[in-house]
Amino acid sequence: MPKLYEYLGIIILFYANEHEPVHVHGRKAGKESKAEITVKDGTEYIINIKTVTGKPPLEKNDLKEFRHFVTVYADKIVQKWIDFFVLNKPIYPETIHKKVK
């Protein structure tokens, strides 16, 4: 389960046996949500937040931060998906200490 980022206490990760569409999970304090990333017209991303079966969703403020982070980092997340699942490259986690804009 490769960890991609830690952002404001939210762990953003892939599960090692993931499936398409491209998506990441956000976890914090025993709660979890996922964000599906769909590419539109090759340049724009649509982010859909989903629940994770058997897990309570992230709290409202954490969910807002998770969505915002995924929106800002969508290019990097998609590249990490390709690197890990298609090219079999290792993924190295990053910690982001400030709110992204």
Distance set, CA 57 to CA 11, 17, 75 (Å): 13, 21, 24
Taking the domains of the chain in order of start, what are their residue ranges?
3-96
Position 16 pLDDT exceeds 90: no
Query: Taking the model in full, what pTM does it have?
Result: 0.90
Distance CA 11, CA 31 (A): 11
Position 42 pLDDT exceeds 80: no
Phi first, then psi, for residue 75 (nearest 5°) are: -55, -45
pLDDT confidence of residue 40: 82
Position 71 pLDDT exceeds 90: yes
Q: Which residue has the tokens 């964000």?
A: 35
